[in-house]
Amino acid sequence: MLSRRDLLTAGSVASLFGLAAPLVARAQSTRTAMPVLRPSAPTPTFELANGLQVVVLPSNRAPIVTQMLWYRVGSCEEAPGKSGIAHFLEHLMFKGTPNVPSGAFSKIIARAGGRDNAFTSYDYTAYHQNVAADQLDRIMRMEADRMANLVVTEKELLPERDVVLEERRQVVESRPSALLDEVAREALYGRQGYGIPIIGFADEIARLGVDDAKSFYDRHYAPNNAVLIIAGDTTVDAVRALADKYYAPIARKDVPARTRPSAVGTGLPRQVERRDRRVAQPEWSRDWLAPSYRMGETGHVYALQVLAQALGGGQTGRLYRVLVLDRKVALDASAGYSAQALGWSAFGINVTPAAQRTMDQTAGDAKQVVDQVLRDGVTGEEIDLAKQRLLAAAIYARDSLSSGPRMYGSTLTTGGTIADVDEWPARIAAVTREQVMSAARDVLADQRHVTSLLLPEGSG
């Protein structure tokens, strides 16, 4: 599950996929060559008669395979008053079927030396296993089984609901920054879609029951609403044979159309704050509404990814160089942006002020950097370095049995195509300085933004 800072303001969100952390590198005094973009064969993919899309990413570097099953459903598909049901169902998917007893799914995989987990986001839910290559038949059989045959009972649901409520207490309510994030997201998007926490509101989670889980499962868990990705030591023919054996018999369903609110950002700009005795270090951040691949001025998305890296790419980013290294008015500074969403996204910057620096001063410090970018743009050297880091991150991600499938899964469940992933490096390499400046002026000069202040209790 991702928090607002994971999605909006963390420096690691600078890549297309919001998944692969950019490489940390020292600033260069001279420009260096871009990573080589070698043409590659199209990524193997096929579709079963029931609508399940299958992607195969063969790699024989090690005798292991990863299976990821992505559903085109996330917390944004929840009905009003049912927040948290998408994430709750993710938990309940491990509670068993007539063929696999409750709790046995993960134990079977662990006994075979493998690992498994799952995650829920706003636009998708995914389940994954990493096992020895000779276990692929087993994990495909088990994953297909729970796509069609999940059993949800009150006996299983009630204690798991308590687990989710405890999870919320640990990851949200015990963290002042997470509580502030919830308020900031609601201010930016409204109490809808991306403005509602993935984990849900505690009072609504506490009311979720068996009928809610079954209804959500029956409406959204279907082969024609899913993407199966197999990576590792296997072949397309082997995957096709197993997919035909285990997934093909599952009937397709009439799945609800997916929509995202286009009317967001009303009543902005706005400032929100949280004062809490648990805050040891103040933070200042600002998030602007920004286009995604699917909504808004989509022509800016590749330039915005380069801009986020140029501004916030670790110690080479302009925010860090100016505020931390040169002026020493901040302890840390970053920027982040992900275009991977069905609805509006956001472009964010985050500053941790130096000791004795007030929030007004910090806001002024950040504004000076942004205003200079809006006035003069970023340099050609900054753009080249930003591209290098993004392309290098993509190259390393493709080699990973975890990041590679995530690149394809997150794209295909948010309206993208195989070509969008395969051609992304070339699209980033083609971004010009003029495009970056145009995108910056369109987004960062916009008044549709939320400023967040995280402060110690009793501070001025």
Task: Identify residue 403 by its one-letter amino acid code.
Answer: S
Contact present, 382 and 310 (Cβ < 8 Å): yes
Cα separation, 150 vs 242, in Å, equals 21
Q: What is the pLDDT of residue 41?
A: 78
Residue 55 dihedral angles phi and psi, to the nearest 5°:
-120, 135
Which pTM was predicted? 0.92
Sort 215 into a burial class: Cβ within 10 Å, 0-12 / 13-18 / 19+: middle
Ranges of each domain in the chain: 4-37+266-456, 51-246
Fold of 4-37+266-456: Cytochrome Bc1 Complex; Chain A, domain 1 (3.30.830)
Q: Which DSSP string do the residues of 376-405 spell out, in sequence order?
A: H---HHHHHHHHHHHHHHHHHHHT-TTHHH
Nearest to 378 by CA among 307, 320, 444: 307
Q: What is the pLDDT of residue 395?
A: 87
Tell me, yes or no, if 154 is annotated catalytic: no
Query: How do beta strands 226-232 and 53-58 pair?
Result: parallel
Q: Which DSSP string do the residues of 106-156 spell out, in sequence order?
A: HHHHHHTT-EEEEEE-SS-EEEEEEEEGGGHHHHHHHHHHHHH-----HHH
Answer whether 4-37+266-456 and 51-246 agree in fold: yes
Cα separation, 333 vs 318, in Å, equals 9
Per-residue pLDDT of the chain (460 residues; tens, 9 = 90+): 333 333 333 323 333 444 332 222 222 223 345 555 554 678 999 999 999 999 999 999 999 999 999 999 999 999 999 999 999 999 999 999 999 999 999 999 999 999 999 999 999 999 999 999 999 999 999 999 999 999 999 999 999 999 999 999 999 999 999 999 999 999 999 999 999 999 999 999 999 999 999 999 999 999 999 999 999 999 999 999 999 999 999 999 999 999 999 999 999 999 999 999 999 999 999 999 999 999 999 999 999 999 999 999 889 999 999 999 999 999 999 999 999 999 999 999 999 999 999 999 999 999 999 999 999 999 999 999 999 999 999 988 888 888 999 999 999 999 999 999 999 999 999 999 999 999 999 999 999 999 999 999 987 6
Q: What is the CA radius of gyration of the chain?
A: 23
Fold of 51-246: Cytochrome Bc1 Complex; Chain A, domain 1 (3.30.830)
388-389-393-396 Cα dihedral, nearest 10 degrees: 60
CB atoms within 10 A of CB 429: 16
Q: What is the pLDDT of residue 35?
A: 55
List the catalytic residue out of 90, 143, 156, 283: 90
Cα separation, 353 vs 366, in Å, equals 10
- The neighbouring-strand residues paired with 451 are 271, 286
